A = this chain, B = another copy of it.
């Protein structure tokens, strides 16, 4: 097809939107390792998970075989307010780089949550409503996931209780107010609304909280409240399933113009965006139909794939969750405080961990000043101000495009632009003021963290 006919933004018609999520596990020869009960070390059963998660989500979580899950009409009706999201051609960035590479990005930031998180939030809220529940609980750090969930709960008329790490609640009031606009109740954590919160407050009166503590409070509130369940925005198999809509739309949009990517790049924290973006491409690769280079990009300050251990570990710092087999830095690993972007999770989705272990994808890590360099170049050429998380993928996409320039290769690159950075201007300010630095964990620090991993084979 003539190059000139490829628009800046490729949109699918609403009628072309995917009707089903794709479950990449169905095509994996080695399935991701099951969640284990930390007491018995036996695989978790549905009945053990159902006090915490909705029944249908538990079923999705445990299903390694069904390739497609029909997206309910009620979810599609809301998806249509912000989906299909565009695949954009980075013409202006390509020109600035002087690269022969063709760069495309799937942009998930054009909704008020500012990221792809809304895709799974809607699904999780829908199933909670369908089960007749009153509400859901969750935790949030900076607030991206909490915002997405509060939007979803407003739409499905479901109560939404968000435990927000106290320091974020106080210092980042804007996301909190977005959540309140959608009717969520936002509680600074630790709080006196839970037993664990009261205990922490008694033991550490001046604490500003942590994500681990907020998770513990959210889970406790869910399991002790009639008609509530807990929901989570990343890491879980069910979340990657819902996020497959990113990749399904991207693949279909590119195919409309006869475009096949050579390289697919996504940032990776818990893996929700990357897992969603690559799903249908990985499916082809697993079935031996096509080959792609797939690159996970993580921060050098939180390098679970590139420097972590592939082992069973707790999913939370409080060590109350089931054990998951994943690339992990240890469940109490905390990235340097100077790390500005998200992607702070100590582990990686079990699905992506298995794919990486099987050599089906690559991983790389990037330092944060280089990430913000790329973010600024992208903003000035393409217009969109990226989220720091997304800018990790931009960094690697730019590096690959510059390699193409050196080698004179016309490769086609697709990366995931997961969101916008409007609520991250404090980090940008640090960058503008030259106050940003790169601190990466030492081998000794990681070794000490690995020594604390639970001993499970």
Contacts and interface: CB of A to CB of B under 8 A. Distances in A.
Interface residues of A, number: 47
Contact of A110 (B15, B110, B379, B425): B110
A376 to B, nearest CB: 6
Given A81-B92, A420-B112, A425-B173, A385 B9 contact: no
Interface in A356-408: 375-376, 379-385
A230 interface: no
A112 B384 contact: yes
A69 interface: no
Given A174-B425, A178-B385, A183 B11 contact: no
Nearest to A428: B177
A257 to B, nearest CB: 13
A182 B111 contact: no
The secondary structure that dominates the A interface is helix
A98 to B, nearest CB: 15
Nearest to A432: B180
Nearest to A118: B383
A423 B432 CA distance: 19
A81 B91 CA distance: 9
A227 interface: no
Contacts of A9: 14, 80-81
16 contacts: A8-B80, A9-B80, A9-B81, A78-B92, A78-B383, A81-B383, A111-B384, A112-B383, A112-B385, A112-B422, A154-B379, A154-B380, A177-B425, A177-B432, A180-B432, A181-B376
